[in-house]
Amino acid sequence: MVDQRTLAYINLYAVLGTLENLCELDPAAGALLTNKKPISIGFEIKGGPSATLTFKNGRCRMEQGVGDCDVKLPFSSCEKFNGLLDGTVTPVPSKGFAHIKFLLKEFTPLTDLLAKYMRPNPEDLKDEEFFRISTTLMFYTIAVAIAQIANNDKVGKFTANLIVDGDIEMSIANGPAATLRAKNGRIVALKRAPENPRAIMRFESIQLARDLFDGKINAVATIGTGKITMKGMISMLDNLNRLLDRVAFYLA
Amino acid sequence: MSFKINKYDKSRKAFERAEKVIPSGVYGHLGPAEGCFIPVEAFPIFAEKAEGTYFWDVDGNRFIDYMCAYGPNILGYGDKDVNAAAFEQSKIADCTTSPSFKMVELAELLVDTVKSADWAFFAKNGGDTTTLAIMTARAATRRKKIVFVSGFYHGVAPWTQKLGYPGVMEEEVANNLYIPWNDFEAFEKIVDENEGEIAAFIATPYMHGNFQDNELPADGYWQKVRKLCTQKGIVLIVDDVRCGWRLDLAGSDHYYGFEADLICFCKALANGWNLSALCGKDWLKSAVSGVTYTGSYWLSAVPFAAAIACINKMKKLNLPEVLRKKGLMLTDGLRIAAANNGFNLVVSGEPALFYLRTADKDNNLMLHQEWVAECVKRGVFFTNHHNHFMNAAMTDEDIKFTIEVAEEAYRVLRKNHPEL
């Protein structure tokens, strides 16, 4: 059974957190953000995570905590917040009513655009640029989701405890890269390659990564073909793959 | 001297065919994923033939094989004495409705040879025997919890795997408890915290887990474990599948000066003929008799005949001492080859099953992986993160050749890494 608290962490940091990358990758996303002044939206989830998305000059940035946000969206439980993502819950701000227009006219279309990339229809994926952006966003979502599962999910925590300290590079050749920084049984995800990785898992192509993320191929099966490069502390990657399996459990 | 660099065109083509009809192409420890073929291009995938200490791949490349099929090859591939016994038995009978009396002869030989054995129960793989050992311990004690050493490997049955592994249910590993190797205080503590609930403590004779320097038992460790197990009614299981027959023909527990309640053998037991055996103390004979446990080929006669010939030959050769000497000669030479080129090769474990790691400041094993790849490409089959195995067919010339290859491989590393 899906743990709602873990799912809330994934939905906030991994899914909504990918808005950062969407604004960088798709000019249409930046164009949706017409506000002149920076606006920040805080998500405060009882018994779960909290974070603030700040929109400025067509860019987006996520930080932990709600601090001094312009709009605050409180959720009484992780289930309620997860309902926001699956469209069954409509949020009511506790602060920032003056910015309702931004929420409705800019933020909502932005999240709709994200959904278009994250749950693409097969026709859209035939467009090379759409495919690249969609897979890149999926890559970042998965990288951050791995960390959330490692730190919150019961099975994920057991697996994370087996990972020795150090940076893991997960990357696509000529594409995006992420650092999964393991320390004392916890993992932090950074959306850039590590300078000094202790283990590397690199996908040969964006198509291969897509097939892996879509569950069409298995990482272990693909190693023999040489299309996935693994080196360094292989035990870290072995356990990383178990966390990767668990991502599908939450995001399928 | 410069060595030929292997090409693997036929292996790659064969792998392309394999992956169409076999999951992962080659699954398990002999395959490129679990076998840590880094990079894949440096390693052969399929063997054509084997003899003595060598195997030849489908491209015709010869390898001095330091994996010995991951342990079974102890006397040399195709050992004439073992094979003669097996072929002779195959002319008489193998898989039959009533088992051959060879089974009894082998059981008697094991009881005579293995110090802690009062009986023997036969199966096929090491995992068959570790699972039977656990079931026997639970049947005998009517307890459910099992203590493991972190970093363990006892096969692939669900109980031996971990939470989060594909296909493994939480309930299947719910009674597994974990302690660090060589930490008797941790064992005492966990026994105290689970008073009357622990059926067994299972461990290998020393820590030969993968991805880590291997570690021998601390002085008095096993003796203290033995004493506490006896006091608390905990069955002491030694998984001797990997070490068995290479350290001591009387069992690796005997080598380290204690007696297990149950001891698991496989790999080298019959020099590659498929057979495993659980041996145990008399007080567990009744319990094991009551466990429902059997298999279609477990009582086949040919492997029994092979095992008898293998054990007798190992005794004649005083094999553990031979393997120890060969292992020391090799690893001393490898260390020097590394040092000659400014590298530090860390050798750990027992010489007959040595484990290698080229030390690097980042502690990420990549330097070692590069070195292993260079050795394999030149016909010396090492693996990256698993202990190796010595066999009786290995000559001093083979060891000399290996050290020369190792030296050249380190020279390549030196050239490729001027920054080091």
Sorted by where each begins, the domain ranges of chain B are: 9-65+319-416, 80-317
Supply the ipTM of this predicted assembly. 0.90
Domain pair B9-65+319-416 / B80-317, same fold: no
Give residue A87's pLDDT: 87
Residues of B in contact with A196 (CB under 8 A): 362
| Nearest CB to A231; choose among B25, B45, B366 | B366
Model confidence at B156: pLDDT above 80: yes
Give residue A99's pLDDT: 87
| Nearest CB to B32; choose among A159, A166, A224 | A224
Model confidence at A219: pLDDT above 90: no
Give residue A218's pLDDT: 86
| Contacts of range B18-25, beta carbons closer than 8 Å, 24 or more positions apart | B18/B45, B18/B46, B19/A221, B19/A224, B19/A225, B23/A221, B24/A218, B24/A220, B24/A221, B24/A224, B25/A221, B25/A224, B25/A225
Which range among A208-217, B131-140, B146-155 shows the weakest confidence by mean pLDDT? A208-217
Strand ordering across the sheet containing A71-75:
A59-64, A50-56, A39-45, A71-75
Q: Over the stretch A3-57, which tens digit does the pLDDT of each residue have? A: 999 999 999 999 999 999 999 999 999 899 887 789 999 999 999 999 999 999 8
Residues of A in contact with B164 (CB under 8 A): 155-156, 158-159, 239, 242-243, 246
SS3 content of chain A, % helix, strand, coil (to 5): 50, 20, 30
Q: What is the DSSP letter of B161?
A: S
Which range among A80-89, A145-154, A211-220 shows the weakest confidence by mean pLDDT? A211-220
Which residue in B has a C-alpha nearest to residue A155's C-alpha?
B164
Neighbouring C-alpha atoms within 13 Å toward the C-beta of B225: 34
Give residue B350's pLDDT: 98
Residue among A74, A86, A79, A139 at smallest CA distance from A111: A86
Structural class in CATH, domain B9-65+319-416 = alpha beta
Cis peptide before B39 (omega within 30 of 0): yes
Is A226 in contact with B170 (Cβ distance < 8 A)? no
Give residue A174's pLDDT: 94
Decide: B266 and B242 in contact? Cβ < 8 Å: no
Residues of A in contact with B40 (CB under 8 A): 223-226
Which residue in B has a C-alpha nearest to residue A199's C-alpha?
B364
Pick from B365, B369, B383, B386 the residue to mutate for testing the A interface (most A CBs within 10 Å): B365
How far does B420 lie from chain A, in Å, by closest CA? 15
Is B365 in contact with A158 (Cβ distance < 8 A)? no
Q: Over the stretch B39-86, which tens digit does the pLDDT of each residue have? A: 999 999 999 999 999 999 999 999 999 999 999 999 999 999 999 999
Which residue in B has a C-alpha nearest to residue A168's C-alpha?
B364
Give residue A215's pLDDT: 86
CA separation for the pair B269, B292 (Å, rounded): 24
Which residue in B has a C-alpha nearest to residue A218's C-alpha?
B24
Report CA Rg, chain A. 18
- Helix, strand, or coil (residue B244): coil
Model confidence at A93: pLDDT above 90: no
Task: Tell me yes or no: is domain B80-317 CATH 3.40.640.10.
Answer: yes
Is B384 in contact with A223 (Cβ distance < 8 A)? no
Q: Is B144 on the interface with A (CB under 8 A)?
A: no
Complete DSSP assignment for B44-112: ---EEEEEBTEEEETT--EEEESSGGGTT-SS-BT-HHHHHHHHHHHHH-SS-SSPPTHHHHHHHHHHH
| Nearest CB to A232; choose among B19, B23, B365 | B365
Is B40 in contact with A225 (Cβ distance < 8 A)? yes
Give residue A92's pLDDT: 86
Chain mean pLDDT for chain A: 94
CA separation for the pair B146, B198 (Å, rounded): 6
Give residue B372's pLDDT: 98
Decide: A91 and A73 in contact? Cβ < 8 Å: yes
Q: Is B28 on the interface with A (CB under 8 A)?
A: no
| Nearest CB to A224; choose among B25, B166, B211 | B25
Q: Is B362 on the interface with A (CB under 8 A)?
A: yes
Within B6-46, strands assigned E span: none
Q: Over the stretch B356-403, which tens digit does the pLDDT of each residue have? A: 999 999 889 999 999 999 999 999 999 999 999 999 999 999 999 999
Q: What is the DSSP letter of B39?
A: S
